[in-house]
Amino acid sequence: MKFILDHIFLVGIAVLSGGALLWPALTQRGKRATPQQVTLLINRAKATIVDVRDAAAFGEGHLPDARNIPLGELAKRSGELDKFKNRTAVVVCQKGTRAFGAAKILEKAGFADVVVLDGGIEAWKTQGLPITK
């Protein structure tokens, strides 16, 4: 206890930096799906893939049958996906971090089941799963 009181400034910095490291993990709320789980959803024809990366990244490679709607345009263009509201929407980004914001937008648009590809397209490629160009 004496150490903490004598070095309160250093202890404070340690606590703040630890909190800053944990913050992204604590704020990402929503469903996640591994590449294998997404593969099952695709194979059973129960999923719509929404890729929220920009057009250039999408052109370099994407999941089969994915629809590209960049994150900045998703709120305006979510009507394009209305006919798929009864399916699971799988949101894909580069590393799986920006997709949570897109998932919230789709949930507000009326999608009942929205999941994020855990690890994004990079995890998909790491698993050696098919990519369409």
Catalytic positions, written as ranges: 93
Dihedral sign (CA 115, 76, 122, 25)? negative
Q: How far apart are CA 111 and CA 76, in angstroms?
A: 15
| CA angle 70–74–79, rounded 5-degree value | 130
Q: How far apart are CA 47 and CA 19, in angstroms?
A: 36
Q: Are 74 and 105 in contact (CB under 8 A)?
A: yes
Helix runs in 1-133, H state only: 2-6, 8-27, 35-43, 55-60, 74-77, 99-108, 120-126
